[in-house]
Amino acid sequence: MVRLVRGAVVAFLAVFVALAGALPSSAEGPSPSPSVSETAEPVYGCIDKVDGYGAPRACQLNVLVKAPVCDNDVPKLNYALEVIGSPSTTTTITFVNPSGPDVIYADQPLSGTVNWPGAVAGPDGRGIDWPGWTQLSDGSWVEGDEFDWVRPSVQVLFQVNPEATVTVAYPPSTPTCNTDPEDSEVLVDNPTAAVLSATGSEVQPLLLAGGALVLVGALAVALVSIARRRRPTA
């Protein structure tokens, strides 16, 4: 009887050890979870840069519209983009300053309108300040401010990944819309420029008067010279 009990205990221990060896070791711990960078889907970039055969896919940004416009006396940039091979539905628009901080419009739609850097609209939406101009305390305007670099043209970078850079001219004024100060008595930093910018009605009379004086002087000299030649010698 004792031998049977001992045999049963030994058999039970053997089965227990065998089952324990088949279980995974607790020292190894659970399998690590994938990191965010390994599982996150790209939200900014090109989709499948190569096809199933390894050939590169199209991944590009086309600027369909880059029109400088004047709207309610506010200079603006009207744009439209075509994105190929990217899931992005927004763009970052950068007006590139060659010698200072850029002006950036982030998270813009793929088509729309943005104000020109330095343009300021009043409460009614009408323009009250323009790039390249500074208003003095007496209400007059003088050329020059921190946005001189956006005129007469500026580089604009559209980033959707891919990206594209274009050069856009500052929008001109129209009979119904001003992209410069409306004040007719505009001051300028350069006095020479002020003279050269005078109207034709002011400059032409001065030129005619000066030319007449030169002609009269030349005629007088010629008459005196002829009279001396004809004078008989003693």
3-state SS, residue 192: helix
Taking only the tens of pLDDT, the chain with its 234 residues reads 555 545 555 555 554 545 455 444 444 444 333 333 333 333 445 666 666 677 766 788 999 999 999 999 999 999 999 998 888 899 999 999 999 999 999 999 999 999 999 999 999 999 999 999 999 999 999 999 999 999 999 999 999 988 999 999 999 999 999 999 986 444 444 333 333 333 343 444 444 555 555 454 555 555 545 555 555 554
pLDDT at 60: 86
pLDDT at 72: 96
What tokens does 33 get?
């979870």
Give the whole-angstrom CA distance, residue 149 versus residue 168. Answer: 12
Extents of the domains making up the chain: 60-181
Tokens of 157: 């970078």
pLDDT at 220: 56
Would you state the pLDDT for residue 131? 97
What pLDDT score does 203 carry? 41
Q: Which amino acid is at 128?
A: I
pTM score: 0.59
The whole-number pLDDT of residue 1 equals: 54
CB neighbours of residue 92 within 10 Å: 16
Q: Which CATH class is domain 60-181?
A: mainly beta
> What is the rounded CA–CA span in Å between residue 149 and residue 95?
10
